[in-house]
Structure 1
């Protein structure tokens, strides 16, 4: 099992610290960039307000995209659950910092 390190990712101009195995750091950073892009698209659309609501809409859109893929590997569900856990943890930590 590899050692975890803290990775800083920026989403909608806010920094989140996420624990990640070293070999998954690049994938995590790529995922954060993709999420940031999707959230910026939703915010620019102007119909959804508030970072939390934008994040939920982005998560729904991304999940829908993934579920529409016919070539999705069987391990995708576990991967999506891990991503969901990490996003929830980061949002929870963010609320603690600003709360």
Structure 2
């Protein structure tokens, strides 16, 4: 697994990234950085962990509101039916593994 150094809200992180996933990871980092910076710059929230939670909620809501394109739906989810939820626990484990070398995001 490749390692990439990224910056989110002025803090550097080294993240694990599968080969070929660099562009997607950098886009995700850009989205998180923009969202967290916008919340911080609004001036109402100061604590990084609260900023991170609000950013995560905002991004998750925006993702949930988007209509799913056939290419974006994993085969296992598409086969199981549109009403089945995404495996959030698996996504959280992958994020935790990526952050394991550098500590926690919060």
In 1, the alpha carbon distance for the partners of 2:101 and 2:43 equals 25
Unaligned stretches of 5+ in structure 1? none
Instruction: Mark the structure with the bigger radius of gyration.
Output: 2
State the shift of 1:78 in Å: 4.7
Query: How many residues get paired?
Result: 91
> 2:10 is matched with which residue?
13
**Bigger proportion of residues as helix:** 1
> What TM-score results when the alignment is normalised by the length of structure 2?
0.71
In 2, the alpha carbon distance for the partners of 1:91 and 1:48 equals 26
> 1:94 is matched with which residue?
103
State the shift of 1:6 in Å: 0.7
> 2:46 is matched with which residue?
49
Q: Does structure 2 retain, via aligned residues, the 8 Å contact 1:18–1:86?
A: no
Unaligned stretches of 5+ in structure 2? 78-85
> What TM-score results when the alignment is normalised by the length of structure 1?
0.75
